[in-house]
Amino acid sequence: MTGTRGYHHGDLRRVLLAAAVRVIEESGPAALSLRDLARRAGVSHAAPAHHFGDKSGLLTALATEGYRLLAEALHAAGGDLLDRGVAYVGFAVDHRAHFEVMFRPDLYRCDAHELVAARQRAGDALHSGVAALPEGRPTAQDPQGDALAAWSIVHGFATLWLSGALPPRVGDDPRAAARDVIHRLFPRP
Amino acid sequence: MTGTRGYHHGDLRRVLLAAAVRVIEESGPAALSLRDLARRAGVSHAAPAHHFGDKSGLLTALATEGYRLLAEALHAAGGDLLDRGVAYVGFAVDHRAHFEVMFRPDLYRCDAHELVAARQRAGDALHSGVAALPEGRPTAQDPQGDALAAWSIVHGFATLWLSGALPPRVGDDPRAAARDVIHRLFPRP
DNA sequence: GGCGTGAACTTGTCAATGGAAAGATATGAT
DNA sequence: ATCATATCTTTCCATTGACAAGTTCACGCC
């Protein structure tokens, strides 16, 4: 509730995070500037400090939000491991700013309270998908190894896609390409 | 070949790159400062500009060196795909500074001439390993898909390892853990 | 030997940034 | 109405990247 143009912005925290997402999507996390965010929000350059303390505080909030969104996306994808893997890649593509920050621990305080909790939940969502694999497969006695392999392959595909390192031949539909790749790790009976 | 303390440093370029590697390994690419590198090398704050133009020039040089080292490491690993995958992860762990910069195109000029060439060679080394897979496997008709899956899984594992996101249960030997993960993608006959 | 050309490096400077300190203003509870 | 607090502003400082102009050195050439 605000929109009022007064001394108080009213929604600064959310506006700053949204602006940060836009900047990172356009130019990467290295180009992020608190003063630039403040300018975009129409407030003084010191206003962000009140909400986030410092730059790493803002990125901590962004990473926390990212882990929450990731956990949501994984749950929404249903119980199938293949679908969850595709959802992981889809999250990275749809929220590339969050994703890029989440796995750069040098940019934020990775021991922050809320962040640790959110990451835990996302990790649980990731692992519980492996439990739904068929029982008869060869590696059924080591579900944690399966989980690590699944995480590696979707995370690697997502990272390579975002970095632009993949050849054009892969196409322009990350979810379809990801599905094909994951399928090689867990072939369907 | 100098060591002389005169006006000319003599080996500044290499010394700056080495210092950059140390800084990035300790604190990540975000903490890199040209002035700090100059201080460590004992030269004036503007000396690095002569060799690299600007900061992204230095990181371009670092990424190029990284792709060269990666191509070397892959070739040295022999023709077996499993060994090459392990070598990829080993490179990422042993040269984490190079690796972290290589896949951050926002940090350097990814259209630089020497860099494109070095990356091309590393990519070839990566793909030629897939050709050595046994003929009878189910996905033999799509070697490019196999290459993409292999690249994804080793790149993902390496990235997760470096970011510290993996649970301690994985152990402290990245090559052994990587071998196990890759083995799930390409089971041995 | 002297000379000049250019590479390597220094000094000086500027705008932008992150961060801290201290003041101003609005909000809401009592 | 009053006051405590959260929110935002203004002012200030050290650091950084980048640029310009000057200084020192190395080396080929006559």
- CB–CB of B183/A149 below 8 Å? no
At position A48, the amino acid (one-letter code) is: P
What φ, ψ does residue B135 adopt, rounded to 5°?
Answer: -70, -30
Q: Is the pLDDT of residue B187 over 80?
A: yes
Residues of B in contact with A169 (CB under 8 A): 144
Q: Is B141 exposed, middle or buried (0-12, 13-18, 19+ CB in 10 A)?
A: exposed
CATH architecture group of domain A8-53:
Orthogonal Bundle (1.10)
A127-136, B11-20, B98-107: least confident range: A127-136
Average pLDDT rounded to a whole number, residues A48-75: 97
Within chain B, all domains assigned CATH 1.10.10 are found at 1-53
Strand C CB shell (< 7 Å): A 4, 6-8, 32-36, 45-46, 49, 53-56; B 7-10, 12, 38, 43-47, 50-51
Residue B15: Cβ within 10 Å count: 16
Average pLDDT rounded to a whole number, residues A157-185: 96
Please state the separation of Cα A131 from the chain's center in Å. Answer: 23
Which positions in strand C are less than 7 Å from the protein's CB atoms? Answer: 8-13, 16-22, 25-27
Q: Which CATH class is domain A55-185?
A: mainly alpha
Is domain B1-53 given the CATH code 1.10.287 in the classification? no
- CB–CB of A150/A184 below 8 Å? no
Within chain A, all domains assigned CATH 1.10.10 are found at 8-53
Query: Nearest-CA residue of chain A relative to B105?
Result: A163
Band (B71; pLDDT cuts 50, 70, 90)? very high
- For residue B4, say whether its CB is under 7 Å from any atom of strand D: yes
pLDDT digit string, tens, across residues A125-140: 998 888 777 766 777 7
| A158-171: burial string, b at 16+ Cβ within 10 Å, e else | bbbbbbebbeeebe
Within chain A, all domains assigned CATH 1.10.357.10 are found at 55-185
